[in-house]
Structures are given as structure tokens and as C-alpha cells.
Amino acid sequence: MTFPTVAAGYGALLALIYLVLSLWVGFGRFGFRVIHGDGGNDRLARRIRAHANFAEYVPLILLLAALLEASGAGRLEMNALLFPLLVARIIHPFGMIAPENSPQQFLCRAPGALITWLVLGAEAILLLARLR
């Protein structure tokens, strides 16, 4: 088995994004004077959901990516999957904090979610195809 270096590199970059999101929530709690939950503050609730959404999708996608790479997927294939994910996870929080039905919401949130789903689905299909 080969060490999944491409997945590991993207994992490190995504971990830094997660750290930024975590700090964003933490500083938001401090700034909005909310210790637990969102305190009914919509702006803080959106930060929390952006952070949680990342935590809900990225670990599974990285695990699948590492399995795919360890099973023989090449650098080009891995970059074709993970670079769009990296971009998606950078833009998605900007859409999460955008006003409802604003251009920012449509340009960041929807594409961020769609790309994340496409990467997840593609990895699952590619892994299943390798099992034959």
C-alpha cells in the first residue's frame, strides 16, 4: 500500500481551513457574548452551521480520497478531485453568511455544496469500481 501523499497534503490544507472556521466561531462567540449555542444570533448561527457543515462532509471525503489514492489512484486523478473540494470549502462559508437570496449566497454557497457532493459521489463511485 502506498502512503496517500496527495490526500495528506490536501488534508493538511483543509485542516487549516477548519482551524480558521473554528476560530471564526470562537471569536464570534466572544464578540456576540454567547457562551453556549448561538444565543439567538443569526450571524453566529450561520458561522456555526458553516463550521459544522465542513465537519460533516470533509472527514469522510478525505477518508475516501486516502483509500482511493492508496488503492492506486494517480496524482492527476487525486488533484482533479481534491482541488475543487478545497476551493468549494473556501467559498462555502462566504455563502453561508450571505443575506438570503443574495448574489453572494448563490455564487458561494450553492457551488460550494454542489462541488462537495460531486466529489463525494465521484470518490464513492471510483472506489466501488476498484473493488471488482
Quickly list H helices, 1-132: 5-32, 42-70, 75-96, 103-104, 110-130
How many Å apart are CA 59 and CA 78, to the nearest integer? 16
For domain 5-130, give its CATH number from 2.60.40.10, 1.20.120.550, 3.30.360.10, 1.20.1300.10.
Answer: 1.20.120.550
**Radius of gyration for the alpha carbons in the chain, expressed in angstroms and rounded:** 16
Measured between its terminal Cα atoms, the distance across the chain in Å is 18
Structure confidence by residue, pLDDT tens digits, 57-87: 999 999 999 999 999 999 999 999 999 999 9
| Residues 5-27: tens digit of each pLDDT | 999 999 999 999 999 999 999 99
